[in-house]
Structure 1
Amino acid sequence: MPISPSLRDDLARRLQESRAAALATVRARTGFDPEGMDPPAISPRAHLVQDDDAPTAETIAHDEERFAEHETNLLHEIDAAIGRLASGGYGMCASCGCKIPEQRLLATPTVRTCVPCQEAIEKEERTARGPTM
């Protein structure tokens, strides 16, 4: 096992707490209220009040949609980490197979790579983008 049982328990608890928080946020942004009276936050109608214009409401709704997408992606990362934890693959770098240091796991429980591999990925992504302004 790449991580200690006590660290495993701590990370499992933290991941479950993070999952619950992310799920609540996604539901708040995308779901209707129990009575079905209010539109979800990603709906432009949710941001129209007297004297508001439709373009402003649509801009706010678009931002809410982006936030919901970010939270959904985070939820997927958390679920993947929980799966790796359950299967015994947690704490191993997805790129090189080396053990990820415990401090890195504690700092970012959803991390999939060790620092050297993450740096290589980021360097490759920067060079692949082309010129920037």
Structure 2
Amino acid sequence: MNAPLSDTFKIQLLALRADTVAQLRAQRGGALGRAETAADALALASDDQASADAQRDMAFALEERESAELISIEAALQRIADGSYGLCVDCGVSIPNARLHANPIAMRCVACQSALEDGPIRA
């Protein structure tokens, strides 16, 4: 991948990282950690316990998803740094730029990603 194109993806990934970090901070109530946020949500819940538990579980699930996304963004930035960005980690084929623009953290070509999602074929 040429340098200008890789710089374009790096800018896109850095913006995505900043947005994700902002979302995590907002979910945590600023600088609060996960435990403090959960305690606050539990203390402020005016609904019944089941509703409070559901809200807490949803917040944890969102945080886990965004934390995983941050890890994927950092991995993509590392691939840019080492020159392997845009190559499928499984088969080594070039990932189309359109796919990378749509999903800049993509690490597999469509065929390998589909095979991964489909899992092993059972007889």
The TM-score normalised by the length of structure 2 is 0.84
1:92 aligns with 2:95: no
Task: State the alpha-carbon separation in 1 of the partners of residues 102 and 57 from structure 2.
Answer: 31
1:110 aligns with 2:108: no
- In the other structure, the counterpart of 1:27 is 25
SS in 1 for 2:119: helix
Cα pair distance change 1:58/1:47, threshold 3 Å: farther
1:7 aligns with 2:2: no
Task: State the alpha-carbon separation in 2 of the partners of residues 120 and 88 from structure 1.
Answer: 25
Cα pair distance change 1:17/1:53, threshold 3 Å: same
SS in 2 for 1:94: coil
Q: What is the letter of the counterpart of residue 77 of structure 1?
A: S
8 A contact 1:15–1:78 mirrored in 2: yes
SS in 1 for 2:58: helix
Post-superposition offset of 1:65: 0.5
Task: State the alpha-carbon separation in 2 of the partners of residues 76 and 46 from structure 1.
Answer: 31
Cα pair distance change 1:57/1:22, threshold 3 Å: same
Task: State the alpha-carbon separation in 1 of the partners of residues 70 and 7 from structure 2.
Answer: 19
The TM-score normalised by the length of structure 1 is 0.78
Identity of aligned residues (%): 33
Count of residues in correspondence between the two structures: 118
The 5 Å alignment of 1:1-133 reads: 3-31=1-29, 39-40=36-37, 42-43=38-39, 44-45=41-42, 47-49=44-46, 52-124=47-119, 127=121
The structure in which a higher percent of residues are helix is 2
Post-superposition offset of 1:46: 5.7
Q: Which moved more, 1:63-72 or 1:116-125?
A: 116-125
8 A contact 2:25–2:31 mirrored in 1: no
Post-superposition offset of 1:4: 2.2
Post-superposition offset of 1:84: 0.5
Task: State the alpha-carbon separation in 2 of the partners of residues 25 and 8 from structure 1.
Answer: 26
SS in 2 for 1:10: helix
Higher CA-based Rg: 1
5+ unaligned residues in a row in structure 2: which ranges?
none
